[in-house]
Copies of this chain bind each other. A is one copy, B any other.
Amino acid sequence: MTDLHVISYRPEPAELSYTFGGRPAVGKIQPGSIVELYTEDCFGGKVRSVHDLPSQVCEFPYLNPVTGPFHVEGAMPGDTLALHFISIEPARDWAVSTTFPHFGALTSTHTTATLQPPLDEVVWLYDVDRERRVVRYHARRGDFSVEMPLDPMHGTVGVAPSAGEARMTITPDAHGGNMDTPELRAGVTVYLGVNVEGALFAIGDGHCRQGHGEVCGTAVETAMNTVVAVDLIKGVQTPWPRMEDDDHLMSTGSARPLEDAYRVSQHDLVTWVSSLVGMDELDTYQLISQAGTAPVGNVCDTNYTMVAKVHKAFIGRHTSYEGMHAKLRALADYYLFAR
């Protein structure tokens, strides 16, 4: 581990990507490397005051830009890409959130189509205090204001999809994408099945914090400085994006209706744990039924995302992915020490 490969990359606006798939790589990365990235917010940094309405200052489809894609050397279909998030830090002292016409959970939408007019389009600016680890909310139509803990995460991470597809970054599916789960924070390793040579991963949509379901459609959005350790598990497939931290295994599912996202995530966790522990599938189903949690990702995007999560203490602390999480955790410590 003496040779620490560190790559820093800050994209020019014209280098941002708006799809997973359909784009050449912006760079190549060796497995075992560390990547220091800058990511723009979901509005491309164009909403900077409460007067910047997204429907006016942004242009469809140039929303939810991601940084990348990166080509991981040696990654081939059938492998699994591991991305360990070492740190996710707001790049600004302000952040933004909005309602957006016909987007969000408590409004009719493009597909939940009704004859009602949209909700008002409103922008909220948040103060971001990186020292005190808080964000401050200010009501727009009154004096209410409150601080909430900073809990940075990335809404969007993924690889190029299978089957020659290219998907808008706003859509979460089996390739990852805009899952919008608060579980994707620093300290977490994300596992993504590789569909094309080089994997072509990209990252974006940083949130200072987010409630479960991102009910209004946007979180506390800001640009991020993010450090990721990148590695590869050869010959191991991953059907849906998975996550691991020191204490938990997590599976995701992205689908509609929401119960299907729940089914996918729980089905993946049950079959994954069954295989790890060497336990009968129905025995595992029973155990997860009592031991598992199901943090909601998003209930506002083109697919909804659910997470199925279980504490390792309940399943015998078996090692997954050949110990990749522990390996990248150690690499992260070394990087942080060396820095």
Let me know if A8 is at the binding interface, CB within 8 A: no
Q: Is the CB of A280 within 8 A of B140?
A: yes
With contacts A142-B279, A144-B277 taken as known, whether A166 is within 8 angstroms of B22 at the C-beta atoms is yes
Q: Are A294 and B213 in contact (CB under 8 A)?
A: yes
| Bound: A16/B19 CA distance, A | 24
Q: Which residue of B lies closest to A170 (CB)?
A: B163
A315 proximity list for chain B (CB < 8 A): 146
A residues 237-279 near B (Cβ < 8 Å) are: 253, 255-260, 262-264, 266-268, 270, 277-279
User: Which of B106, B214, B259, B286 is in CB contact (< 8 Å) with A270?
Assistant: B106
Other contacts beyond A22-B165, A111-B253, A140-B283: 9, CB < 8 A: A18-B163, A61-B164, A107-B108, A114-B263, A115-B270, A141-B283, A144-B316, A211-B292, A213-B262
- The 3 closest A-B CB pairs, nearest first, are A61-B163, A257-B257, A212-B294
Which residues does A use to contact B, with CB under 8 Å?
A: 18-19, 21-22, 60-61, 97, 99, 105-108, 110-120, 122, 124, 135, 137, 139-142, 144, 146, 148, 162-168, 209-220, 253, 255-260, 262-264, 266-268, 270, 277-283, 285-296, 299, 304, 313-316
